[in-house]
Amino acid sequence: MTRTSLQMGKMEFAQATSSIWLALLLTYTFTQVSGSQSQLTHKSEGLSWMDLYNRSQCQPRLVLRSLLVEFPQFSDSLFLPPCVSVMRCSGCCLDEGLSCVPTHTHNITMQVIKTKLLQSELTEIGITQHTRCECRPKEGVLLKANRLSGQGEKKMKKRRRKGKKGREANKKRSVTPCMGLSREDLKQI
C-alpha cells in the first residue's frame, strides 16, 4: 500500500468515526429531550379527582396583595416591593350560599421601603395572614335546612304530574338535536 492510500484510509476512518459519534450524540440528546418532555406531559396531563377536590377546598393560600390596596391611606406613597405574598382564605364551598372566610388570623410584620415626595424610608408594616378558613353563610343569605321538606315535597309531586302531561305535548313537537338529526333518525340508530 502506498502512503497516500494509507492517509486516505485514515481520513475515511476518522470521518466514519466522527459520524458515528455525532449520530450517537444526537440520538442521546434527542432521547433526553423527548424523555423529559414526556415526563412533563404525563405530570401535567391529569390529576386525580381527589387531588382536584383537595386543591379546590376552602383553605389558606399564598396570594400576592398590593400594598396600596391593603393600605389605601398611603395612596400618596409608593412601596417597594409594591406587593407582598400573604396567606389568605380562598377556595370553593359546596353550596353557592356559602363563602370561604377566615376563622383564625394573625398579624405579621414586614419591612418595605415607603417613598413619599422623593423621601424614602425603611418602614415596618403589619399585615393580616389567614391561618384557618371555613365555609360560612354569605351575609344576607338565609340557607334552607332541608330543601325537600314540607312544602317542597308537595311542589315536587305537582311538578311530576305536570311533567307527565308535558311529555305528551313534547312528543307532538319535533325537536332537532344539536347534530341535526330528527327523532326518527335517532330511533333508527
Find the mean pLDDT for residues 38-57. Answer: 76
> Above 50 in pLDDT, residue 73?
yes
> Above 80 in pLDDT, residue 180?
no
What is the reported pTM? 0.50
Q: What is the distance between the terminal CA atoms of the chain, rounded to a whole angstrom?
A: 81
Give the separation between CA 15 and CA 174, rounded to whole angstroms.
76
According to DSSP, the β-strands at 78-80 and 98-116 are antiparallel
Q: Confidence class of residue 140 from pLDDT cuts 50, 70 and 90?
A: confident
Closest alpha carbon to 112 in 97, 127, 90? 127
> Above 90 in pLDDT, residue 57?
yes
Predicted confidence at residue 41, as pLDDT, reads 47
